Amino acid sequence: MSLKGKHIVLGVTGSIAAYKSALITRLLIKKGAEVQVVMTPSGKEFITPLTLSTLSGKPVISEFFASKDGTWNSHVELGLWADAMLIAPATASTIGKMAVGIADNMLITTYLSMKAPIFAAPAMDLDMFAHITTQQNLETLKSHGVHIIEPTTGELASHLEGKGRMEDPEKIVDILEKFFETDNILDKKKVLITAGPTYERLDPVRFIGNFSTGKMGFALANECAERGAEVILISGPTSQTISHPNIKRIDVESAQEMYDAALEYFPEVDIAILSAAVADYRPKVATYEKIKRTETDNLTITLVPNPDIAAALGNQKKPGQKMIGFALETNDEEENAQKKMTKKNLDFIVLNSLKDTGAGFGYDTNKITILSAEGRKQSFALKTKKEVSKDIIDFAFG
């Protein structure tokens, strides 16, 4: 039973579908999970805390302060306790607050403190669900890594027919079960991930670099950590942030610094995912003073090769270690990716093309094809980088 012993925070909001949260609680308990219900104030108008506390065996949490004696409910502790948070039903109001971080109730503060994977099952009338604001909020949550359990089409509280009916409790619990069945693919594995660009200094104020943001590498780091891996994330300069306690971040600037860090940690890991956009060349000479502009002379910069991180790790790879590389191509994409995989002794290579709209540097989305050294191949549609990271891990290790 994949839910046995799991700690689930069940968020209940003010929707007529809140009555289904009682069945969700009962099903989760029967599967062996521990359930802590957190309700919004309006949720109590639709189902009583007494019902849910009886089913869960735990007092329902709704207010920040438990009583007038100074005791309070810690959303931070809930975020650390949980293996998953499920918000079912999730109203348009709660979805909007989640998307922009309006922490005006215990449920939203718990959501903002949550370290574990988060699932949300929308429930609302068809016009509210179809509204552009709701759809934009849902896309925002997806980009933040929230798993959206799509509502179904059926009769709604308004007696209209349309999409907005919360998914059935049995299917919601089944989705959680399937998630935890695959969640332990990387349990107790050590994973090295490189991410972001490298900057190669010309002088104290200028550098040669690229447009990488590190979004893909950071999504992979979070995905691996959520699946139980201990992650060493070696990142070039980027504004991306991490919060998962299983991720150790090492910041570097240049290709040489990334090379040194990768070689230091590679012997102790099971898997290396090389998603960084490492500069192939660096200036032969970097000056200690700012290069001044002149009116007549052209500036000539001599470039020399940087060390090849993937090739170096591929040469050192031991039996049992796996390596995943990336290939961003503009022409002869698959042929070039195959050559790179063979040359650098990779087990898998993730190919994307700048010809695909929404793929490559700077986007929140990516469109990939994964190739394996054993001859497997799978292409995927344009997805968020969070979803792409799941596809990569599932293809390589699922």
Catalytic site residues? Answer: 210
Tell me if residue 186 falls in helix, strand or coil: coil
Residue with tokens 């925070």: 9
One-letter identity of residue 180: F
Tell me if residue 76 falls in helix, strand or coil: helix
Instruction: For the chain, count helices (H), then strands (E).
Output: 13, 21
Tell me 16's DSSP state: G
Please answer whether residues 43 and 12 qualify as being in contact, where contact means their C-beta atoms are separated by less than 8 angstroms: yes
Rounded distance between C-alpha atoms, residue 39 and residue 17, angstroms:
13
Q: Where are the beta strands (DSSP E) in 259-302?
A: 271-274, 281-283
For residue 137, the surrounding DSSP H or E stretch is: helix 132-143
Residue among 208, 236, 237 at smallest CA distance from 304: 208
Measured at the alpha carbon of residue 389, what is the angle toward residues 249 and 306, in degrees to the nearest 5?
A: 55
Residue among 317, 117, 362, 104 at smallest CA distance from 228: 117
What tokens appear for 361 in the block?
Answer: 């540097």
Please answer whether residues 71 and 65 qualify as being in contact, where contact means their C-beta atoms are separated by less than 8 angstroms: yes
Rounded distance between C-alpha atoms, residue 172 and residue 185, angstroms:
21
Rounded distance between C-alpha atoms, residue 233 and residue 277, angstroms:
14
Tell me if residue 102 falls in helix, strand or coil: coil
Rounded distance between C-alpha atoms, residue 248 and residue 387, angstroms:
22
Please answer whether residues 105 and 41 qualify as being in contact, where contact means their C-beta atoms are separated by less than 8 angstroms: yes
How do 377-379 and 369-372 pair as beta strands?
antiparallel
Rounded distance between C-alpha atoms, residue 106 and residue 103, angstroms:
8
